[in-house]
Amino acid sequence: MAPRKQKGFRLGYDFRTQFELKVMLWPAVLLIFLFDFTPLFGLLIAFKNYEPIMGVQGIFTSGWNDFQHFIRVFQNFQFWPMVRNTLGINLLGALVAIPITIVFALLLNEIKHPKFKSLVQTVTYLPHFLSWVIFGGLFITLLNSTGIVNFLLLEFHLIDKPIQFLADPKYFWGVAIGTGLLKDIGWGAILYLAAMAGVDQSLYEAAAIDGAGRFKRMINITIPGIMPTLMVLIIFAVSGMLNNNFTQIYVLQNSLNLPTSQVIDTFVYQTGLLQFQFASATAIGLLKTVFALMLLIGANALSKKITKTGLF
Amino acid sequence: MVGGKSLGERVFNLSTFSIMIILMIVTLYPFWFSLIGSLNSGADLARGPIFLWPREFTWGSWNAVLSDAGMLKALWITASRTLIVTSVSILYTAMFAYAFSRSYLKGKKFYIVIGFASMYFSGGIIPSFMLMNWLGLYDHYLVYILPSLFGGFWNVIIFNANYKAIPDALFESAKMDGASEFRIFLQIVVPLSKPVLAALAVFTAVNIWNDYGTTLYFTQSNHLQTLQYMILRLIQSNRAVENMMSLQGSNLAVASLLNNTKGQGAVTAQTIELAAMVIASLPMIIMYPFAQRFFVKGVLVGSVKG
């Protein structure tokens, strides 16, 4: 249909336009190559007898060591507790956070008073915008043996002596999961609320005419409406289950709760950057990345099979 | 509608309302608690906790924090990097996304591949540390700037989705008139993408302001500490004293800040910590409600990431 078939005449394909587009693309491309791709060469040291003193050329000149770092990782007595902490905090955290966030979003969606609804939203967004240093710091203060939580528990005679929330390893998972939930419950609800807003309103009216109560409408119309969003979030949760929120854990961690607070990411930081075991720390990090990628692909395939929705 | 409310409906509304109120109190109370603590005399606070209102009001701790040289240095580092990184990374990312979204871009596949590869593959912390060392960025102010200048491919996807809403006719007529790509970007795309630009700028600024990982991983000098990092060390050193734990490596800047308190008088380590936390969170608390209207519209996809 186009009268001009020659390539040179089509709008935008001329040399000048292409050049201008490249100028716009290349600052970012260079940054990606330098800061995202160059470090990938560093992964080689996971398979080598590398020592920090060897410098950058040592990455290529040091000798291969037949997967010794990987073998030693599994023999390390700290390895399995650390995997257990990572999975425990993440999986229990997701099991607690996803349903509670959905219930919160459902209730928020039922509030017919727009001003009150937006007030609740503004207030619950707040913690999302604060750093883990501040938010974690606040809770460390509140959960302290002289903090308000222990004060109230003592006052109501629920306990006889203060609970050491952060000094006793027993409580660390709970503290991590609880603070994580409180920090992101409001923000997490945004996605569900948007999905709920997209549900066809005539469905509710039809159901109301058929005599379905509020609760029934919620279960039979709203929940199916947010299913695709929920699936995407579950895929993210599954693929991210080896990935702890380092910024959170590191703030809440201390030498007393280490048995339950040491996770893969903090261990990599500690052995790698504080004890300079570059090669073995890189090996653990690489193992984690590979497993996380496999989990992502697996979760996505499973979700596609069951619910016909996936990320890619 | 009003008259038709059943008893069940009323109970439901009332309990929803109460749950929301409780949640708001639980969210806000920690801030109130630290605010009143930071404005109370430290010696008085040591006698017993306060929960509702300052008992012995004083600006002492705020003054101590805001006049401490180390704190002010950290504030300067944090504020300057937030400003620089936010403005440049939004420009680079929006520009990349614009060029990327053009149907007539040659070699698009290459950019798609490197974009997705940058999202899914990462060398991790040790290789990054080695790179920073090799580039001479370790323990240098630029480590706060250079690695963050591109906002990531995820933000490109968000920009891209928003650019699709701009009518093609606008681009075509501008091109017919011989406008350069830069002009189209600056005069058509940017003005029409203000909500998404604002939202992503806020997210970037919040991330940079709140970041302490860069300081932890890639610096060692006291004069390069960020605000969050300094507060983290403050919290850790106070807890170490309380629980009689050992603290790995004491921090000179924190020590000098705490030195003038000696645990008694109006200003103590505890009130300093609270004041620093309140002061460091104020910019975010003041800013985010204004940016809130952009969030849902601008970047719904974006929040999936976090």
Phi, psi of A48 (to 5 degrees): -130, 165
CA–CA min distance B76, chain A (Å) = 18
Q: How sure is the predictor about B244, in pLDDT bands with cuts at 50, 70 and 90?
A: low
Contact check, Cβ <8 Å, B123/A42: yes
Contact check, Cβ <8 Å, A17/B181: yes
pLDDT score of B299: 52
Cα angle at B64 between B60 and B68, to 5 degrees? 170
Q: Which of A255, A238, A242 is nearest to A290 (CA)?
A: A242
Contact check, Cβ <8 Å, A28/B92: yes
Most B-contacting residue of A7, A26, A29, A36 (CB-CB within 10 A), to test interface: A36
Distance CA B139, CA B214 (A): 10
Most B-contacting residue of A24, A187, A231 (CB-CB within 10 A), to test interface: A24
pLDDT score of A303: 81
Distance CA A105, CA A107 (A): 5
Contact check, Cβ <8 Å, A139/B30: yes
Of A13, A182, A190, the CB nearest to B27: A182
Spell out the domains of chain B, with CATH numbers in brackets: 66-220+286-305 (1.10.3720.10)
pLDDT at B300 over 90: no
Domain edges within chain A: 70-307
Of B122, B211, B285, the CB nearest to A126: B285
- Give yes or no for A182 touching B (CB within 8 A): yes
Largest CA distance in chain A: 89
Of B217, B236, B300, the CB nearest to A194: B300
Q: What residues in B contact A27, CB-CB < 8 Å?
A: 92, 95-96, 149-150
pLDDT score of B303: 41
Mean pLDDT of chain B: 85
Which amino acid type is present at position B231?
I
Helix axes A172-197, A223-239, angle to 10 degrees: 140
Q: How sure is the predictor about B248, in pLDDT bands with cuts at 50, 70 and 90?
A: low
- The structure's pTM equals 0.88
CATH 1.10.3720.10: does it fit domain A70-307?
Answer: yes
Considering A11-25, A65-79, B40-54, B77-91, the range whose residues carry the highest mean pLDDT is B77-91
Q: For residues A47 and A69, is the Cβ–Cβ distance under 8 A? A: yes
pLDDT score of A113: 86
pLDDT at B304 over 50: no
Q: For residues B40 and B270, is the Cβ–Cβ distance under 8 A? A: no
Q: For residues A191 and B303, is the Cβ–Cβ distance under 8 A? A: yes
- Find the mean pLDDT for residues A226-243: 83
- Give yes or no for A267 touching B (CB within 8 A): no
Which residue from B minimizes the CA distance to A21?
A: B99
pLDDT score of B267: 80
CA–CA min distance B12, chain A (Å) = 9
Contact check, Cβ <8 Å, B16/A110: yes
Of B121, B122, B292, the CB nearest to A122: B292
Each residue's pLDDT tens digit, B39-54: 988 888 877 778 888 8
Q: Which residue's entry shows tokens 């974690």?
A: A136
Of A11, A33, A247, the CB nearest to B172: A11
Mean pLDDT of chain A: 86
The mean-pLDDT minimum among A67-76, A302-311, B86-95, B183-192 falls in A302-311
Contact check, Cβ <8 Å, B303/A190: yes
Largest CA distance in chain B: 77
Q: What residues in A contact B207, CB-CB < 8 Å?
A: none
Contact check, Cβ <8 Å, A126/B288: yes
Contact check, Cβ <8 Å, A131/B212: yes
Torsion sign over Cα B176, B180, B185, B188? negative
CA–CA min distance B135, chain A (Å) = 10
CA–CA min distance B40, chain A (Å) = 15
Alpha-carbon distances of B258 from A234, B36, B68, B215, rounded to whole Å: 45, 20, 10, 21
Each residue's pLDDT tens digit, A84-116: 999 999 999 999 999 999 999 989 988 888 899
Each residue's pLDDT tens digit, B105-155: 999 999 999 999 998 888 889 999 999 999 999 999 999 999 999 998 988
3-state SS track over chain B? CCCCCCHHHHHHHHHHHHHHHHHHHHHHHHHHHHHHHHCECHHHHHHCCCCCCCCCECCHHHHHHHCCHHHHHHHHHHHHHHHHHHHHHHHHHHHHHHHHHCCCCCCHHHHHHHHHHHHHCCCCHHHHHHHHHHHCCCCCHHHHCHHHCCCCHHHHHHHHHHHCCCCHHHHHHHHHCCCCHHHHHHHHHHHHCHHHHHHHHHHHHHHHHHCCHHHHHHCCCHHHCCHHHHHHHHHHHHHHHHHCCCCCCCCHHHHHHHHCCCCCCCCCHHHHHHHHHHHHHHHHHHHHHHHHHHHHHHCCCHHHHC
Contact check, Cβ <8 Å, B114/A33: yes
Q: What residues in A contact B51, CB-CB < 8 Å?
A: 148, 151
Q: For residues B34 and B54, is the Cβ–Cβ distance under 8 A? A: no
Contact check, Cβ <8 Å, A21/B146: no
- Report residue B78 as tokens: 């944090």
Contact check, Cβ <8 Å, B210/A43: no
Q: What residues in A contact B111, CB-CB < 8 Å?
A: 25, 29
Q: Which of B152, B122, B133, B78 is nearest to A31 (CA)?
A: B152
Most A-contacting residue of B9, B112, B126 (CB-CB within 10 A), to test interface: B126
Distance CA B159, CA B171 (A): 16
Each residue's pLDDT tens digit, B144-161: 999 999 998 988 988 888
Which amino acid type is present at position B70?
G
Q: What residues in A contact B134, CB-CB < 8 Å?
A: 56
Query: Chain A window 220-259: which residues touch B at a Cβ cutoff of 8 Å?
Result: 232-233, 236, 246-247, 250-251, 254-256
Q: What residues in B contact A186, CB-CB < 8 Å?
A: 27
